[in-house]
């Protein structure tokens, strides 16, 4: 899934990377989610040149698809326009068509030749063996912990009260991976407060990371939470009920930039319940975030910062003892709906409606 409003230049490097690493693209389907003002032909031509199956959908196309399925009311309620959380449409498509694995990338990233993007994620999702497990006394794990002594960074979405944690590592045997989160070279995925504290007014970061900053892959302990960034991600179909991309920006509080972060919290709870793990590390991508106002991003993040401090605890406390996956996620949705914070409550309602829609098409 590739949500984008930019040109198609970023697509071909991913196709070249797959071909370089001998990935059989005949087994892959690409979906580009773009907007009505974007020329779809540019994407179609790139995929055609590589003989790859691709679906390119703008907003009008997605409206037609949802109307044909009798799901238009869900489309309007759950999926925003002109926002990267339109990925929820791709998740629905994947669920309905039975694809085993899903991948998401952002249009400001590029693959790195030494890393097999598609093959690396598939290898992670099928990993069985010994691996380092990361946990913390504050029940939140920092994906940038391996370079913390060098940069002292926490990623976007990491609760402030969970910082300066005491971490523990141990080697464990794993046999089930539900999600593979690749990390980033060049510009790390940081929140606006951190970016401003570095003195960067352009929404990027004065820190630049490289492949040497990441050592071994690791999993996050059950009962611990983690920031999930969808710019370099792969996951199993079973995770989709708990991975609805929360509708951001188009809300009375103007909260934004927590869509994948909060979705990741729900997904982590479900992944734990299904006895899976999230593996983190490689394959790495190069993140080339375009300059923009750090204060604009702060304006989007600030209304959600307080809620972000508590949401993982709310999700963690939800009674997910049911054996039914949909009912597990509905229990999380109900716990969110009971919260006094109106945006958390609204997101809980949307999560419940997401499950209602998946039930309808299952």
- Position 52 scores a pLDDT of 93
Cβ neighbourhood burial of 137 (10 Å; 0-12, 13-18, 19+):
exposed
Q: Tens digit of pLDDT for each residue in 96-149?
A: 999 999 999 999 999 999 999 999 999 999 999 999 999 999 999 999 999 999
- Position 17 scores a pLDDT of 98
- Position 142 scores a pLDDT of 98
CATH of the domain at 44: 3.90.550
Domain membership of residue 96 as a residue range = 2-361
- Position 149 scores a pLDDT of 97
Share of the chain above pLDDT 70, in %: 100
Task: Work out how many domains the chain is built from and give that number.
Answer: 1
**What's the pTM value of the predicted model, to 2 decimals?**
0.97
Q: Tens digit of pLDDT for each residue in 36-61?
A: 999 999 999 999 999 998 999 999 99
Q: Tens digit of pLDDT for each residue in 79-96?
A: 988 888 999 999 999 999
Helix axis angle for 342-361 and 87-97, nearest 10°, is 30
What value does the mean pLDDT of the chain take? 96
Question: Other C-beta atoms within 10 Å of 193: how many?
Answer: 15
- Position 67 scores a pLDDT of 96
Task: Answer yes or no: is pLDDT of 24 > 90.
Answer: yes
Q: Tens digit of pLDDT for each residue in 145-203?
A: 999 999 999 999 999 999 999 999 999 999 999 999 999 999 999 999 999 999 999 99
Task: Answer yes or no: is pLDDT of 250 > 90.
Answer: no
- Lowest model confidence (mean pLDDT) among 49-58, 232-241, 247-256, 317-326: 247-256
Task: Answer yes or no: is pLDDT of 5 > 90.
Answer: no
């Amino acid at each position: 899934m590739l949500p984008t409003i930019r040109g198609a230049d970023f697509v071909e490097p991913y196709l070249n990377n797959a071909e370089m690493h001998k990935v059989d693209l005949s087994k892959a389907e690409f979906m580009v989610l773009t907007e009505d003002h974007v020329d779809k032909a540019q994407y179609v031509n790139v995929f055609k040149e590589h003989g790859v199956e691709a679906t390119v959908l703008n907003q009008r196309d997605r409206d037609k698809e949802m109307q044909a399925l009798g799901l238009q009311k869900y489309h309007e309620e759950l999926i925003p326009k002109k926002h990267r959380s339109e990925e929820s449409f791709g998740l629905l498509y994947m669920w309905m068509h039975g694809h085993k694995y899903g991948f998401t990338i952002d249009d400001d990233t590029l693959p790195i030749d030494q890393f097999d993007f598609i093959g690396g994620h598939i290898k992670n999702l099928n990993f069985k063996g010994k691996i380092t497990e990361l946990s913390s006394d504050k029940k939140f794990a920092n994906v940038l912990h391996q370079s913390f002594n060098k940069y002292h960074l926490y990623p976007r979405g990491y609760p402030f009260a969970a910082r300066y944690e005491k971490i523990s590592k141990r080697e464990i045997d794993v046999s089930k991976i539900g999600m593979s989160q690749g990390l980033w070279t060049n510009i790390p995925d940081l929140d606006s407060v951190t970016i401003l504290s570095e003195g960067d007014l352009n929404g990027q970061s004065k820190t630049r990371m490289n492949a040497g900053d990441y050592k071994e892959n690791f999993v996050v302990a059950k009962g611990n939470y983690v920031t999930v960034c969808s710019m370099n991600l792969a996951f199993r179909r079973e995770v989709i009920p708990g991975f609805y991309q929360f509708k951001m920006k188009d809300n009375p509080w103007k909260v934004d930039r927590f869509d994948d972060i909060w979705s990741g919290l729900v997904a982590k709870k479900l992944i734990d319940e299904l006895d899976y793990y999230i593996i983190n590390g490689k394959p790495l991508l190069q993140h080339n975030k375009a300059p923009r106002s750090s204060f604009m991003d702060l304006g989007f993040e600030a209304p959600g910062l307080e809620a972000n401090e508590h949401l993982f605890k709310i999700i963690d406390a939800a009674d997910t003892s049911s054996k039914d996956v949909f009912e597990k996620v509905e229990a999380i949705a109900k716990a969110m709906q009971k919260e006094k914070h109106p945006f958390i409550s609204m997101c809980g309602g949307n999560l419940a409606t997401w499950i209602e829609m998946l039930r309808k098409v299952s």
